[in-house]
Chain A
Amino acid sequence: MIRFEPRTRAPLALRLTMQMAAVAAALALAAIPLALAGAPLWRAFGLMVQGAAGSAFALTETLTRATPLIFTGLAAAVAFRARLYNIGAEGQLYMGALAAVAIGTGAIAAPPYVLAPLVLLAGAIAGALMMLGPTLLRVRLGVDEVVTTLLLNFVVLLFVQMMLEGPLKDPMGGGWPQSEPILPEGSLPVLFARMRLHAGFIVALIASLALHVLIARTVLGLKIRAVGENAAAARYAGISVAGVMVVVGALSGALAGLAGASEVAGLKGYLTSDMSRGFGYAGIVVAMIAGLDALAVVPAAIFIAGIFVGADTMGRALGVSNYIADLIVAMSLLCVLVSGLFTRFHLRFR
């Protein structure tokens, strides 16, 4: 029989070990469907590592894929810190991308150092506004934000499809439902010649650092932590819980919106309704693996991105469906959640 006894605090080394163990367990579990698909296991994992980090190009591809995941991971981390469960990063990402193309495809003419930041800002504001409704419903009427934000994802996706079939459709797009391309002045520059890694990655790193400083060192950050850990005590101490929630919601939505804006302005150039491969949802996994820590979101996002990119390479070489990546990511989340048991409890075997 196994018994669980609560720990008062877990040492950092134990937490790190547990995260690593969780990831290892997820990969081990992923070996089962891989083997069932008839893939040679060592070669499959070897190809994944090679595809994710085997060359300078592979590395930049992984970092490119990590960029939106850092943003959505931060969006989930800040919201979950305040116990505001924003599951709507996917929708906020698309709204951010939509606002970016609305501003960046010719509506405004400005030099690059003005237009590119404006495009990002538009994305952030659109994402923040998307979170306003669910947050206000939560703080005023107690409506569960998990439900509202999750369902809004589908509403937003349909709205984006409508816009791409209608007012925002590129007349030169050969009939495909896609937006006009972002002007060169509104695009984010690539960081290395002949690579796709763009300045959005730098913005994501800055966002991670800024969020870390905000949470750990500012008065607002302390209020966010207090509200998340014990809203009743925060209210009793004179902190406006509703106010903090609205700010956190806006911040979370803005970060998710930045993910969308940076994708269209840095990578794709134009918006399609299949732009995100579940980045909004994967951001939740990233945040959980990072233990809701803003700095840890960066390595967690790079890890998840590496799985996506590596699985693509492996899938192409071995003829295994690249859905294996989603499977590994999902298992990583489950394993991380289970590993949380080990950091919160002592296990006693008898």
Chain B
Amino acid sequence: MALDPNAPLVLKLVGIGKRFGALSANEAIDLELRRGEILALLGENGAGKTTLMNILFGHYVADAGTISVAGLDDTLAPLAPGSPQAALDAGVGMVHQHFALAESLTVLENVVLGTRSLASLNLDLSGARRKLIALMAESGLDVPPDRRVSRLSVGEKQRLEILKVLYRGARILVLDEPTAVLTPQEVGGLFAVLRRLVASGLSVIFISHKLNEVLAIADRIAVLRAGRKVADRAAAGVDRAVLAELMVGHDITQSRRTPRAPGPPLLMLTKVTVRDPHRRAGLASASLTVHAGEIVGIAGVSGNGQSALAGVIAGTMAPTDGVVTLDGEALNPTPHASIAAGVGRIPEDRHHEGIVGALSIAENLALETLRGAFLKFDAMRTRAAAAIRAYDVRCPGPDAPIQLLSGGNIQKVILARVFERAPRVVLANQPTRGLDVGATAEVHRRLLEARARGVAIVLISEDLDELLALSDRVAVIARGALSPPLAVESVTKEQLGLMMAGHAEAA
């Protein structure tokens, strides 16, 4: 990636600072971006990446500092703070991690959306179509213009989001964790597109916490930690371990699985089928046996039936066909029965299903084990205090509303709720999604500890590195079909990637 070091600056951030109450989210951050450059913004969750980009995009107003963006004549002009419209007009476009698409409209309509004045009567779709098709040919981003967004794959939706930004004439493209939802092959495709785009003069800010990707795509890497920029250097020749340490601030000891003979079979799914009424991927005759003291990893791109698989184990979804047994006994399809049978459940979306934000930590811990008429506050507080100590939950105390906690600390509370009941089976659905390195290591450690105690664990994850590090066996789920699990020693990441894309023969 030969970048012209004399390419003109397109974006210059000087001394950006932003405080939220006592928290300093950004502090004196300087950042420069040149034309045709891919700058990776690397940092843990809560390091301030998203805040910085929200300031750039006008969602927040910085307490200090200035932003300048180059116009068409390459001269830097200050950007009006607090105005997304000003950012758009200046050619800054952002693709968020969570897509902002109108599902019931077509690709073309989504592209046009928001580019027409409310008062204009003529939609001029044919003109827009010509422009979009030209743009697709130029950029290599290909999406059928007349297909409804609800029928697009996740990869296609992301391409559409990028097209939307380019259509509006963006010269700076900001991508927030763009690879979180993609298969390894799709990631490769995205990178190819990005290289093509920067070759034609676009500049890209690539936000990520994944070191491998950052090293593969970026020209330059800026590392944020606790709101400050701690490093800014060319990507060529940067050492992975050094980056990790810069990001976290200290060494990370990775938990690793030690081989261990599994116990007797504990959780069994026999030809379980779930037909999802909402037309999302269900589960097609899936069979799976998980032994005591074993972690079975489930790889797959999000939306391929993981929810249904997790649902039948957690008791939130009833199989239309087939049986789930725990230690030989059929499991009733209710959350209550699943909890009572000794299934510990770490839900996929911890904010949505894991916790009730307005309730206290103590109340959230007690939620699965409510009994009797009156709440026993003393017992609940004692229990919460013990969990806070054992899991190192950073919080004001047991009575604090859990919504004040960071994602990692919320996940620790959920871990405490799962493991303090000594479960026989644990369902961990995307347990480290969105967590920082420290909290991720804690989740991994607790899962391996449970495995050593003889718990049968189903680990659903999109992170192949995580699956390969923790699992004894790995199965792949694609379009509702679950492959037979393979011993982890005998599979490669590439093989899993192909299977995730639906090529069963790769097994």
Q: Which residues in A have some Cβ–Cβ distance to B below 8 Å?
A: 1, 3, 8-9, 217-223, 225-226, 229-230, 232-240, 348, 350
Determine if B374 and A236 form an interchain contact, defined as CB atoms under 8 angstroms apart. no
CB distance from B150 to the nearest CB of A (A): 21
- Looking at the complex, which of B130-138, B260-268, B352-360, B487-495 is the stretch in contact with chain A? B352-360
- Looking at the complex, which of B68-76, B299-307, B331-339, B467-475 is the stretch in contact with chain A? B331-339
Determine if B356 and A236 form an interchain contact, defined as CB atoms under 8 angstroms apart. no
**Cα–Cα distance between A314 and B229 once the two chains are bound (Å):** 67
- Other A-B contacts than A233-B353, A235-B316, 7 sampled, CB-CB below 8 A, are A3-B82, A222-B370, A225-B356, A226-B359, A236-B345, A237-B368, A348-B61
Instruction: Please tell me if B386 contacts chain A, counting CB pairs below 8 Å.
Output: no
CB distance from A14 to the nearest CB of B (A): 14
Closest to A8 in B: B404
Instruction: Please tell me if B139 contacts chain A, counting CB pairs below 8 Å.
Output: no
Residues on B with beta carbons closer than 8 Å to the beta carbon of A240: 336
Determine if B356 and A233 form an interchain contact, defined as CB atoms under 8 angstroms apart. yes
Q: Which residues in B have some Cβ–Cβ distance to A below 8 Å?
A: 21, 61, 82, 314-316, 334-336, 338-340, 345, 347, 352-359, 363, 366-368, 370-375, 377, 401, 403-404
Given contacts A225-B359, A236-B316, A236-B345, A219 and B372 within 8 Å (CB-CB) = yes
Given contacts A235-B316, A236-B353, A218 and B401 within 8 Å (CB-CB) = no
Determine if A236 and B347 form an interchain contact, defined as CB atoms under 8 angstroms apart. yes
Closest to B368 in A: A237
**Cα–Cα distance between A234 and B373 once the two chains are bound (Å):** 18
**Cα–Cα distance between A229 and B356 once the two chains are bound (Å):** 6
Determine if B367 and A234 form an interchain contact, defined as CB atoms under 8 angstroms apart. yes
CB distance from B335 to the nearest CB of A (A): 4
Closest to A220 in B: B373
**Cα–Cα distance between A225 and B401 once the two chains are bound (Å):** 13
Determine if A219 and B370 form an interchain contact, defined as CB atoms under 8 angstroms apart. yes
Closest to A235 in B: B335
CB distance from B403 to the nearest CB of A (A): 7
CB distance from B314 to the nearest CB of A (A): 7
Given contacts A236-B316, A239-B370, A230 and B335 within 8 Å (CB-CB) = no
Determine if B367 and A219 form an interchain contact, defined as CB atoms under 8 angstroms apart. no
Residues on B with beta carbons closer than 8 Å to the beta carbon of A1: 82
CB distance from A143 to the nearest CB of B (A): 18
Residues on A with beta carbons closer than 8 Å to the beta carbon of B403: 8
A-B CB contact pairs (8 Å), 22 listed = A219-B370, A219-B371, A219-B372, A222-B359, A226-B356, A226-B359, A226-B367, A229-B356, A229-B359, A232-B353, A234-B356, A235-B316, A236-B316, A236-B345, A236-B347, A237-B339, A237-B367, A237-B368, A238-B338, A238-B368, A239-B370, A350-B82
CB distance from B115 to the nearest CB of A (A): 24
Determine if B404 and A238 form an interchain contact, defined as CB atoms under 8 angstroms apart. no
**Cα–Cα distance between A222 and B21 once the two chains are bound (Å):** 30
**Cα–Cα distance between A219 and B368 once the two chains are bound (Å):** 11
Residues on B with beta carbons closer than 8 Å to the beta carbon of A233: 352-356, 367
Residues on A with beta carbons closer than 8 Å to the beta carbon of B354: 233, 236
**Cα–Cα distance between A9 and B340 once the two chains are bound (Å):** 35
Closest to B370 in A: A219
Residues on A with beta carbons closer than 8 Å to the beta carbon of B82: 1, 3, 350
Determine if A236 and B314 form an interchain contact, defined as CB atoms under 8 angstroms apart. yes
Residues on A with beta carbons closer than 8 Å to the beta carbon of B372: 219
Determine if A239 and B367 form an interchain contact, defined as CB atoms under 8 angstroms apart. yes
Determine if B401 and A9 form an interchain contact, defined as CB atoms under 8 angstroms apart. yes
CB distance from A12 to the nearest CB of B (A): 14
Determine if A217 and B356 form an interchain contact, defined as CB atoms under 8 angstroms apart. no
**Cα–Cα distance between A240 and B335 once the two chains are bound (Å):** 9
**Cα–Cα distance between A323 and B164 once the two chains are bound (Å):** 54
Q: Which 3 A-B pairs have the closest CB atoms?
A: A238-B336, A237-B367, A236-B353
Residues on A with beta carbons closer than 8 Å to the beta carbon of B377: 217
Q: Which of B61, B335, B370 contacts A223 (CB 8 A)?
A: B370
**Cα–Cα distance between A237 and B353 once the two chains are bound (Å):** 8
CB distance from A209 to the nearest CB of B (A): 15
Determine if B358 and A229 form an interchain contact, defined as CB atoms under 8 angstroms apart. yes
CB distance from A3 to the nearest CB of B (A): 7
**Cα–Cα distance between A316 and B352 once the two chains are bound (Å):** 55
Determine if A3 and B374 form an interchain contact, defined as CB atoms under 8 angstroms apart. no
Determine if B370 and A232 form an interchain contact, defined as CB atoms under 8 angstroms apart. no
**Cα–Cα distance between A229 and B403 once the two chains are bound (Å):** 11
Residues on B with beta carbons closer than 8 Å to the beta carbon of A236: 314, 316, 335, 345, 347, 353-354
CB distance from B447 to the nearest CB of A (A): 19
CB distance from A297 to the nearest CB of B (A): 19
**Cα–Cα distance between A49 and B311 once the two chains are bound (Å):** 60
Residues on B with beta carbons closer than 8 Å to the beta carbon of A8: 21, 403-404
CB distance from B318 to the nearest CB of A (A): 13
Residues on B with beta carbons closer than 8 Å to the beta carbon of A350: 61, 82
CB distance from B340 to the nearest CB of A (A): 8
CB distance from A226 to the nearest CB of B (A): 5
